[in-house]
Amino acid sequence: MARRDWSAHLRMRQIRILLALHDTGNLSRTARASAMTQPALSKWLKELEHDVGAPLFVRHSKGLVPTGACDLLAERCRLLLNDLARTIDLLDAYKEGVEAKLHVGTTPAASTEVIPASVAAMAQRLPRTMLVVREGPIDLLLPQLQDGRLDLIVSVLEDRHYGGDIAQSRLYREHMVIVAGTAHPLHQKHAVTWDAVTAYPWVGAPRDSLVHRELMHEFALANQPLPEFLGDISSSVITSNVLARTEALALMSRRSALLFERAGLIRILKLPMQRRLYVGALWRKELRLGESGDAFLQCLRESCKAFTESTP
């Protein structure tokens, strides 16, 4: 029977060793990295499994395979270590007058207008709260939300299961559009068709990105073959500048496209997309966002409402 107080004997170094074993499934490699002998590591692991009252790994000739109990323990340990690291960081910032830190992830489609407006609104509402904003693809941000490095993500909500522990809230409807340089021949046509756009090269987004997945969906719905791609570019700024210099096309969120259209780099083609998308906020259900998180969500909703009402 497992001891109820076994966690009291678990030290930070042992938590890191357990996580290394969980990630590598290799006793000898973990032992070397932890400055231990392999027999000592094996003995400690058996004692931990006895204390927990459940096997943590299945032993195979090629290494260790984590059990469900190990996956659960590793998940909680990562949250613990990341929360501790963030607490230490907040204590350092507290000396400089910062009372709270909110870590926000955003995908490019959501970062053009709403995130900057919400950051500015937060500076007025809670001036002693520091916002740490990181932009990237959702597949990179989601693990950071799950292990506690991020408090909240603002992203296009895809038709996918983010996990039973993730809550979500819609903020506004997003439209994807096809864009081209201002001098592109297709701007001269009264009606643009899918047959026409497949005749030109495209600047693609990275294959693990939402934009790439949406482009694949749209071509499939239009029963069109995939076009020729000049390359994969993750930056909307670089993409817009490439389009301004070539006859290539690209898919972009409408809000981002309007920004670069106002800058005179690109124009939106009149070819509507068939899929309906929404931008929303994601956070862990079990995490109480607190005053700063609740305030930022409110800033997001107010900013989204303002932009939705003002965007033609």
Per-residue pLDDT reduced to its tens digit, 178-223: 999 999 999 998 889 999 999 999 998 888 888 888 899 999 999 9
Taking 70 as the threshold, does the pLDDT of residue 225 lie above it? yes
Question: Is residue 68 one of the residues assigned to a domain?
Answer: yes
Looking at the structure, tell me whether residues 153 and 293 fall in a common domain. Answer: yes
Taking 90 as the threshold, does the pLDDT of residue 295 lie above it? yes
Question: Is residue 288 one of the residues assigned to a domain?
Answer: yes
Mean pLDDT of 159-168: 81
Looking at the structure, tell me whether residues 52 and 185 fall in a common domain. Answer: no
- Looking at residue 196, its pLDDT comes to 92
Question: Is residue 300 one of the residues assigned to a domain?
Answer: yes
- Looking at residue 75, its pLDDT comes to 87
- Looking at residue 4, its pLDDT comes to 56
- Looking at residue 174, its pLDDT comes to 86
**pLDDT digit string (tens) for 47-103?**
888 888 889 999 887 888 999 998 888 888 888 888 888 888 878 878 878 888 899
Looking at the structure, tell me whether residues 194 and 249 fall in a common domain. Answer: yes
Residues spanned by the domain of 155: 97-171+279-310
Looking at the structure, tell me whether residues 109 and 235 fall in a common domain. Answer: no
Looking at the structure, tell me whether residues 290 and 160 fall in a common domain. Answer: yes
Q: Please tell me the total count of domains within the chain.
A: 3
CATH at residue 21? 1.10.10.10
Looking at the structure, tell me whether residues 67 and 120 fall in a common domain. Answer: no
- Looking at residue 2, its pLDDT comes to 46
Looking at the structure, tell me whether residues 221 and 250 fall in a common domain. Answer: yes
Position 311 confidence tier, pLDDT thresholds 50, 70, 90 = low
* Core vs surface per residue 243-266: b (16+ CB within 10 A) or e: bbeeebbbbbbbbbbbbbbeeebb
Looking at the structure, tell me whether residues 198 and 50 fall in a common domain. Answer: no
CATH at residue 283? 3.40.190.10
Mean pLDDT of the chain: 87
- Looking at residue 1, its pLDDT comes to 42
Question: Is residue 184 one of the residues assigned to a domain?
Answer: yes
Question: Is residue 85 one of the residues assigned to a domain?
Answer: no
Cα separation, 54 vs 49, in Å, equals 6
Residues of the chain above pLDDT 90, percent: 33
CB 141 within 8 A of CB 114: no
Cα separation, 184 vs 199, in Å, equals 13
Looking at the structure, tell me whether residues 191 and 58 fall in a common domain. Answer: no
Taking 60 as the threshold, does the pLDDT of residue 310 lie above it? no
Mean pLDDT of 228-247: 91
Residue recorded with tokens 């690209």: 250
Cα separation, 254 vs 262, in Å, equals 12
Looking at the structure, tell me whether residues 66 and 104 fall in a common domain. Answer: no
The region that residue 302 occupies, defined by phi over 0 for left and psi between -120 and 50 for alpha, beta otherwise, is alpha
Position 309 confidence tier, pLDDT thresholds 50, 70, 90 = low
